[in-house]
């Protein structure tokens, strides 16, 4: 069998059928399987998985397990995959019908490819929004002479992070040395953590500039995602440590690269703080967020040394939080709220 499509499923009854239907309607004529891993759903998602497996027993496997999170669900999918290549689809997203066909054509053109990376579009309120930033205007081959470009993209941004834009040789996934059971409680940066090994182990990687995946932006879960009790789960220092471990392997263990990495961690940590504060519902929640020890989310070097690419505004916030001088931070967000309110009012007036 050539392809295994792995779909972790958890409480997505609203979107699951669209996801699975998009995988069943692929234009690809060869063999492929769909593995639905129900991670202890408490809604009807598990029943929907069974319904599809019963109707398509030659194509779909439904696996049910206790709830342990996305990392665990993907691990179960990988262990049960029979295809030569694995693709990942999140169950609230959906694929273009030519996803497998385009990937297969690419692999036929490059039979020694270990990975294919493709593009995606955002899907919000039933409208597709093209992704503005791309890796290359057309096909691009990455190998030993230029893979540092991919590593750099992984360090400074999110262009090559997501698993759901990758078709990866199953052998590489199954030979990943990391013990993922240690990360079952994490709910952030799982893709980045796994991509460190995948990009390293794949000797030949092909990028095709085709939007083959639709990523749903779901604002419904924001308030739950940013409740103060979830802050520790956003700590991704374990990912930072893995990247630092691989820098010598990549030939990139330099002060300049480490500075970029530290700057990124600092900026993203303070972005996380900002998201939590903006989504706080009560004064008590805001106080909890302000008083959280945010330096525990950062490598020590990023705490005490200013990165060349870090945000000056974020550094001011961080220093205020560290010195428990919360008023300037609160004032900034208050002004931002007022500014957005006036902007909304002006747009309504212009609309009339």
Does the pTM exceed 0.75? yes
Burial of residue 32, with CB atoms counted within 10 A of its CB: 0-12 exposed, 13-18 middle, 19 or more buried = buried
CB 169 within 8 A of CB 84: yes
pLDDT at position 45 is 98
* pLDDT tens column, 182-241: 888 777 889 999 999 999 999 999 999 999 999 998 755 544 578 899 898 889 999 999
Q: Report residue 346's pLDDT band, with 50, 70 and 90 as the boundaries.
A: confident
CA dist list (Å): 273 to 58, 189, 267, 269, 346: 47, 16, 10, 6, 29
What structural domains does the chain harbor?
Answer: 3-217 (3.90.550.10), 222-348 (no CATH)
68: pLDDT strictly greater than 50: yes
- What are 264's two structure tokens? 């990124």
Cβ neighbours for 107, distance < 8 A, ≥ 6 positions apart = 85, 113, 116, 167
* pLDDT tens column, 137-173: 899 999 999 999 999 999 998 899 999 999 999 999 9
- The mean per-residue pLDDT over the stretch 269-288 comes to 95
């Amino acid at each position: 069998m050539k392809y295994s499509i792995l779909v972790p499923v958890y409480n997505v009854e609203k979107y699951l059928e669209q996801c699975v239907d998009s995988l069943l309607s692929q234009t690809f004529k060869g063999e492929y399987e769909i593995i639905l891993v129900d991670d202890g759903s408490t809604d009807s998602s598990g029943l929907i998985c069974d319904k599809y497996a019963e109707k398509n027993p030659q194509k779909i496997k439904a696996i049910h397990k206790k709830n342990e999170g996305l990392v665990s669900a993907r691990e179960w999918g990988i262990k049960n995959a029979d295809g030569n290549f694995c693709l990942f689809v999140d169950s609230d997203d959906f694929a273009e019908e030519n996803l497998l066909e385009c990937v297969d054509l690419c692999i036929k053109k490059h039979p020694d490819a270990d990975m294919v990376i493709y593009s995606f579009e955002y899907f919000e309120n039933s409208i597709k929004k093209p992704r503005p930033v791309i890796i290359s205007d057309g096909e691009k081959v990455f190998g030993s002479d230029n893979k540092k470009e991919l590593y750099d993209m992984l360090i400074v941004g999110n262009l090559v992070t997501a698993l759901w834009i990758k078709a990866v040789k199953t052998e590489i996934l199954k030979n990943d040395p990391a013990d993922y059971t240690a990360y079952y409680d994490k709910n952030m940066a799982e893709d980045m953590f796994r991509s460190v090994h995948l990009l390293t182990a794949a000797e030949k990687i092909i990028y095709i500039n085709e939007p083959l995946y639709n990523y749903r932006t779901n604002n419904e879960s924001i308030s739950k995602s940013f409740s103060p009790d979830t802050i520790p789960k956003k700590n991704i220092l374990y990912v930072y440590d893995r990247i630092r471990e691989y820098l010598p392997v990549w030939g990139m263990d330099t002060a300049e690269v480490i500075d970029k990495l530290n700057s990124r961690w600092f900026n993203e940590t303070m972005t996380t703080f900002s998201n939590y504060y903006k989504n706080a519902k009560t004064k008590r929640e805001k106080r909890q967020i302000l008083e959280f020890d945010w330096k525990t989310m950062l490598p020590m070097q990023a705490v005490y040394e200013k990165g060349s690419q870090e945000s000056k505004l974020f550094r001011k916030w961080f220093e205020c939080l560290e010195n428990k001088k919360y008023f300037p931070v609160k004032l900034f967000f208050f002004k931002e709220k007022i500014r957005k309110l006036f902007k909304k009012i002006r747009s309504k007036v212009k609309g009339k």
